[in-house]
């Protein structure tokens, strides 16, 4: 089953990781997903951390609602720090999680899940340097490319981007088959 027409919210802020953005968009678009860039303000222009790539926010956190999306993905760069300081961003992601939608996080993006206080007794991965933070939040850390626990899909780092993206696609397919 295809994921054609599935809506994915890709959360970004200034100083995002352009390589992760490009990899995620290419993989998910090839599978037929529709991707919306979600950020602080609609029409805001964001720049990657190397100041080489710019992208425009399509949907603000205030406008984003879980019923409009099938998944949300949090990537790396400075985005996790910005999200953790934004009650609107955290509220949107929490709504996605509570609605049973897929919440994906890779690299340092997994730190956002700590701020949501949803990691107790969860299995996760993320960048090895945040292992202790994840464990202190109650999670069990696995040094694996991808870990899936319920509607959480976590990826370890940039070299695992393809496996992470494939896991998001597989989970979207699984949920579509379950709903059918």
Instruction: Give the pLDDT confidence score for residue 130 in this predicted structure.
Output: 97
Confidence band for 129, pLDDT divided at 50, 70 and 90: very high
pLDDT digits (tens, 9 = 90+) for 31-68: 999 999 999 999 999 999 999 999 999 999 999 999 99
d(CA 50, CA 153): 27
Two tokens at 108? 């340092």
Domain extent, residue 159, equals 7-173
Reference 88, options 9, 166, 162, 27; nearest CA is 9
Residue 56 bridge partners (DSSP): 45
Instruction: Give the pLDDT confidence score for residue 180 in this predicted structure.
Output: 57
What CATH code is carried by the domain that includes residue 54?
3.40.50.880
pTM of the model: 0.95
Instruction: Give the pLDDT confidence score for residue 177 in this predicted structure.
Output: 75
d(CA 37, CA 57): 5
Q: Is residue 1 part of a domain?
A: no
107 is catalytic: no
Instruction: Give the pLDDT confidence score for residue 179 in this predicted structure.
Output: 63
Phi, psi of 168, deg, nearest 5: -60, -45
Which of 15, 65, 107, 108 is catalytic? The answer is 108
Instruction: Give the pLDDT confidence score for residue 160 in this predicted structure.
Output: 97
pLDDT digits (tens, 9 = 90+) for 73-89: 999 888 899 999 999 99
What domain count does the chain have?
1
d(CA 158, CA 7): 23
d(CA 16, CA 7): 21
Q: Is residue 111 part of a domain?
A: yes
Q: Is the separation of the CB atoms in 142 and 115 below 8 Å? A: no
Helix (H) or strand (E) holding 88: helix 87-98
DSSP state at residue 69: -
Q: Is residue 56 part of a domain?
A: yes
Q: Mean pLDDT in the chain?
A: 94
pLDDT digits (tens, 9 = 90+) for 144-171: 999 999 999 999 999 999 999 999 999 9
Q: Is residue 135 part of a domain?
A: yes
Q: Is residue 178 part of a domain?
A: no
């Amino acid at each position: 089953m295809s994921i054609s027409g599935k809506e994915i919210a890709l959360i970004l802020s200034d100083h995002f990781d352009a390589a992760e953005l490009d990899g995620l968009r290419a993989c998910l678009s090839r599978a037929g997903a529709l991707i919306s860039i979600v950020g602080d303000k609609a029409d805001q222009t964001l720049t990657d951390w190397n100041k080489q790539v710019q992208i425009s926010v399509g949907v603000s956190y205030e406008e984003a609602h879980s019923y409009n999306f099938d998944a949300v993905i949090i990537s790396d760069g400075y985005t996790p720090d910005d999200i953790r300081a934004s009650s609107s961003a955290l509220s949107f992601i929490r709504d996605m999680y509570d609605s049973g939608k897929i919440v994906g996080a890779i690299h340092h993006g997994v730190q956002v899940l700590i701020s949501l206080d949803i990691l107790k007794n969860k299995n996760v991965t993320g960048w090895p340097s945040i292992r202790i933070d994840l464990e202190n939040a109650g999670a069990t850390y696995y040094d694996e490319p991808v870990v899936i626990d319920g509607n959480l899909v976590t990826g370890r780092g940039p070299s695992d981007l393809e496996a992470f993206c494939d896991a998001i696609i597989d989970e979207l397919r699984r949920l579509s088959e379950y709903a059918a």
